[in-house]
Structure 1
Amino acid sequence: MEKRAELYSGKAKSVYETDDQDYLVLAFRNDTSAFDGKRIEQLERKGMVNNKFNAFIMEKLKAAGIPTHFERLLSDQECLVKRMDMMPVECVVRNIAAGSLVRRLGVTEGQELNPPTFELFLKNDALGDPMINESHVETFGWATREQLARAKELTYQVNDVLKALFDDAGLLLVDYKLEFGIFKGEVVLGDEFSPDGCRLWDKETRDKMDKDRFRQGLGGVIEAYEEVGRRLGIDFG
């Protein structure tokens, strides 16, 4: 597979064309951003850690029957993925109250949410990724009713798989966001799953092991990511 011109550069990842129109190279950079890209820093090893973390999680999800865009690792910071028509929507599941839910609703951080909540946000940094509903998605053509229903179904399936996986590693899966796209007519999980896009707390201490360490200036960001990986059995080399 030959890597060709850069197609897109986001806040922390870049996407490259290949000589196969169905596949792309996804490159994880060391950039770390928060607050819709208003704060960006370089953290050594981050690209490698998130690339290998994502590969591990995607393989676990594929083994559980969840279709993903991930094909294989190419290098420490690159992987091969399916080329998809992405929905400009983030699907968010919350198992424990944290982050914007606490700010919006005034609930207590750490409150268990039973059943978990499901929320939708429009991927648009300029607008601050506003919260939207299922009617908005259908009305504005961001996805069909059937596609969104499938994305929601898969989001909850991911929750079942990953809550158990992290629980076994002594971690709480507080919340996470997923992005989906269409590949050959099928709704498929895209983007990434790493501590950049979820909240993970130590079960005993409630220490934060995710990007909130960067957002809140707690330090030890990559060390926390690597500790999560070590508990899962990921070899970062």
Structure 2
Amino acid sequence: MARRKKIYEGKAKILYEGPKPGTIVQYFKDDATAFNAEKKDVIEGKGVLNNRLSEFFMTGLTQIGVPTHFLERLNMREQLVRAVEIIPLEIIVRNYAAGSMAKRLGLEEGTPLPRPVVEFSYKEDSLGDPLVPEEYIIAFGWATQQDLDDIVPLALRVNDFMSGVMYGVGIKLIDFKIEVGRVYEGDFMRLVVADEISPDSCRLWDIKTGEKLDKDVFRRDLGNLTDAYTEVARRLGVMPANTGHPKPTLIN
């Protein structure tokens, strides 16, 4: 069997050349990082959970007409996705003050925002992924004004979907980040949600208890990260209700 060509390895995933032109195989690792990789660990089962959860969210978005790069899950750790030209931005949507926003503005974590706030950060770990205004984005050619005019409503649609799904299982969507890529079809270009959507890229709090069910568990040493992600998967019906071991058996 021919060895696959590795295209890129990041903190949480490895990308391989796909079986057909224009496709990529996305492999989810068990690596956990925080504070721009200053804190690192390997969390057994994390990659399996994120693969399955990202499939769940991407499929749901596709069903409501939000375009994504997701094509299909291949196995427990891999999924087939469309090759896209990634815009070098993280698009952050905040419903409540938390994390860096709470720190910057002196707000208590969990303070509801008057409306969802969309922020942009420049994807560059060596700089700490700094927040950037739209003027910088356009001036440096990372995206056009038309791109931004399309990205904001796209991100808010993702927020509407994610907020509703999470609320239905007793989870509050505090904030999340997505990446967006360009797909070219002849002379036509469209923007799609890319990378992943998982507890790695969201803040998720239990509505009743405030318990954190996201990567803050790892960032702040609040418990077992796999247990938190397993709880999210269980509530969403991605895992059997009676699964209690951190090495999950997932529903195909």
Q: Give the TM-score band, short-chain normalised.
A: over 0.9
Say yes or no: does 1:209 pair with 2:213.
Answer: yes
TM-score for both structures, normalised by structure 2: 0.92
Q: Distance in 1 between matches of 2:18 and 2:165?
A: 33
Residue in structure 2 matched with residue 194 of structure 1 by the alignment: 198
Q: What is the correspondence of 1:87-98 to structure 2 with a 5 Å cutoff?
A: 87-98=87-98
1:230 to 229, 234, 251: 234
Total equivalences in the alignment: 236
Q: Distance in 2 between matches of 1:231 and 1:83?
A: 31
TM-score for both structures, normalised by structure 1: 0.97
Residue in structure 2 matched with residue 110 of structure 1 by the alignment: 110
How many Å apart are 1:122 and its aligned residue? Answer: 0.4
Between the two proteins, what is the percent identity of the paired residues? Answer: 42
Are the aligned partners of 1:28 and 1:50 in contact in 2 as well (CA < 8 Å)? yes
- SS of alignment partner, residue 132 of structure 1: coil
Say yes or no: does 1:128 pair with 2:132.
Answer: no
Residue in structure 1 matched with residue 246 of structure 2 by the alignment: none
Please provide the CA RMSD for this pair: 1.1
Letter in 2 for 1:144: T
- Superimposed CA distance per residue, residues 176-212 of structure 1 (whole angstroms, 9 cap, x where no aligned partner): 0010000111101000000001100000000100000
How many Å apart are 1:26 and its aligned residue? Answer: 0.3
Residue in structure 1 matched with residue 224 of structure 2 by the alignment: 220
- Superimposed CA distance per residue, residues 43-89 of structure 1 (whole angstroms, 9 cap, x where no aligned partner): 11111000000000100111111000000000100000000000000
How many Å apart are 1:21 and its aligned residue? Answer: 2.2
Q: Distance in 2 between matches of 1:146 and 1:82?
A: 22
Residue in structure 1 matched with residue 66 of structure 2 by the alignment: 66
How many Å apart are 1:18 and its aligned residue? Answer: 2.1
Residue in structure 2 matched with residue 159 of structure 1 by the alignment: 159
Are the aligned partners of 1:31 and 1:43 in contact in 2 as well (CA < 8 Å)? yes
Are the aligned partners of 2:18 and 2:80 in contact in 1 as well (CA < 8 Å)? no
How many Å apart are 1:41 and its aligned residue? Answer: 0.6
- SS of alignment partner, residue 27 of structure 1: strand
How many Å apart are 1:3 and its aligned residue? Answer: 7.4
Are the aligned partners of 1:4 and 1:19 in contact in 2 as well (CA < 8 Å)? no
Letter in 2 for 1:197: S
Letter in 2 for 1:28: F
Q: Distance in 1 between matches of 2:23 and 2:225?
A: 31
Q: Distance in 2 between matches of 1:5 and 1:104?
A: 42
Q: Distance in 1 between matches of 2:132 and 2:6?
A: 31
Letter in 1 for 2:14: S
Q: Distance in 2 between matches of 1:215 and 1:8?
A: 25
Structure 2: give runs of 5+ residues left out of the alignment.
240-248
Say yes or no: does 1:146 pair with 2:143.
Answer: no
Are the aligned partners of 2:88 and 2:142 in contact in 1 as well (CA < 8 Å)? yes
Name the stretch that deviates more: 139-148 or 51-60: 139-148
How many Å apart are 1:116 and its aligned residue? Answer: 1.3
Residue in structure 2 matched with residue 27 of structure 1 by the alignment: 27
How many Å apart are 1:4 and its aligned residue? Answer: 2.5
Say yes or no: does 1:51 pair with 2:55.
Answer: no
Q: Distance in 2 between matches of 1:171 and 1:114?
A: 19
Q: Distance in 1 between matches of 2:151 and 2:81?
A: 18
Are the aligned partners of 1:96 and 1:113 in contact in 2 as well (CA < 8 Å)? yes
